[in-house]
Amino acid sequence: MKLADKKFMVIGAHSTIIILWASAFPGIRAGLESYSPEHLALFRLLIGSAALGVLALVTKMRLPDIRDFPAIFMLGFLGFTVYHTALNMGEKTVNAGPASLIVSMTPIFSAALAALFLRERFGRVRWTGSAVSFAGAALISLGTGGGFEIQTGILFVILASISESIYFVFQTKYLNKYGFLSFTSYTVWAGTAFMLVYLPGLGNEIFHASAESTLSVLYLGIFPTVIPYIALAFLASIGGASEAVSSLYLTPVMAFVIAWVWLGEVPAMLSIVGGLIALAGVVIIHRKDSSKGVTEIYENGSSKNI
């Protein structure tokens, strides 16, 4: 595959992740109107697992090696069970602004973990871009009037962000072995298996839920749950963990745009300014002259030098 084609695929993958994950914030909020955080996470993952099961049959996906089961289940637990349950619990009390800001810290956590455990390089310019984007995300949150009170909900969202960061960083070895579609499927199924402890009562909630809430969960299960993870796994397989999540700072920006269109929520001027700053930070991160390692990755397919 040509370098230009790979770069186009990378841009497309980043765009897909940003748009679909941003849409999850209003979707979760709608789902929580009728579902508990645990049942929402379980229902969402059951739908995602079924969708991936269809893909597995169509592609004749092979089963993972038995010796990899412990790692797959641990990563599935962190990346899906903990992440979705904790995020849902957090959004019971934390509004979209602060929640999206905290989740946008995932690239910082991932880069730190990748540098510490995998010896991935994340140079000064890219750290500067991360700081600029984080500052922009902070302005977005302040523009909503959400504030930064330390409460249980915020701690749950932080837990979600950290668990997702661990998942992103330590999946690379298995992506190289199984490919991004297969490994994402394995970990979604593993995460769903842990969630089955919440199966009692789910049927009753589905029966009494509003149509809007149930449709929101169906959307969450197919789009934000499955597709972004496949795109992230693809990015990590060719560019390393920190590259895969480097543009997630744009998620809060897109979240407010979607909420504006979908829910009629007009963002404050401070939020708009913050969005522009966050965008500038992402541009810094992806500057051609500051990402020699990334370019080399695209040329030789290696994920050792970013």
Q: 206-222 b/e with 16+ CB inside 10 Å = b?
A: eeebeeebbebbebbbb
Q: What is the DSSP letter of 196?
A: G
pLDDT category of residue 228 using cuts at 50, 70 and 90: confident
Separation CA 254–CA 110 (nearest Å): 21
Separation CA 76–CA 71 (nearest Å): 8
* pLDDT digit string, tens, across residues 47-99: 999 999 998 999 899 999 999 999 999 999 999 999 999 999 988 877 766 67
* pLDDT digit string, tens, across residues 25-46: 889 988 999 999 999 999 999 9
* pLDDT digit string, tens, across residues 93-124: 777 666 777 777 777 777 778 877 877 777 78
Domain definitions of the chain by residue range: 3-300
Separation CA 119–CA 101 (nearest Å): 27
Closest to 191 in 3D by CA, of 273, 86, 100: 86
Separation CA 5–CA 221 (nearest Å): 30
Q: What is the pLDDT of residue 294?
A: 36
Task: Check if the beta carbon of residue 41 is closer than 8 Å to that of residue 193.
Answer: no
Report CA 161 to chain centroid distance, whole Å.
9
User: Token pair for residue 175?
Assistant: 């992506």
Q: What is the DSSP letter of 289?
A: G
